[in-house]
Amino acid sequence: MASNTDFVQYVADQCAGAGEITVKKMFGDYGIYCDGKIFGLICDDRFYVKPTEAGRSLLRTVDLQPPYEGAKDYFYIADVDDHDYLSTLVRETCRSLPEPKPRKKKGS
């Protein structure tokens, strides 16, 4: 089951205080990015954040689940209605994640 685009946009809007939030469709669901850095997934209308110690310290409830079969565990975020909480969680998670590797130009 793919995610509803309204839900995807709602989660993106709720995270917006962390930076520039974008989503990209991936394999029928979505990757969610802050300032160009992927920090989570939205799969089957459920929001998942990459696990970091910084993120763990902010979570109200630690619930590790794979977002899809065969995936590593992510933090499942059930409460997507608190804008300030999500913005802080995303901002601190992204500070802990490595910078994305530069993409190679085609033909190189």
Say what the pLDDT of residue 27 is: 81
Say what the pLDDT of residue 101 is: 76
Strands (E), the chain: 21-26, 29-34, 37-43, 46-49, 64-65, 74-77
pTM (predicted TM-score):
0.90
Rounded to an integer, what distance in angstroms lies between the CA atom of residue 29 and that of residue 23? 10
Rounded to an integer, what distance in angstroms lies between the CA atom of residue 90 and that of residue 21? 10
- Encode pLDDT of 49-61 as tens digits: 999 999 999 999 9
Say what the pLDDT of residue 35 is: 93
Check: CB of residue 48 under 8 Å from CB of residue 11. no
For residue 21, what are the CA distances in angstroms to 18, 46, 79?
Answer: 8, 17, 18
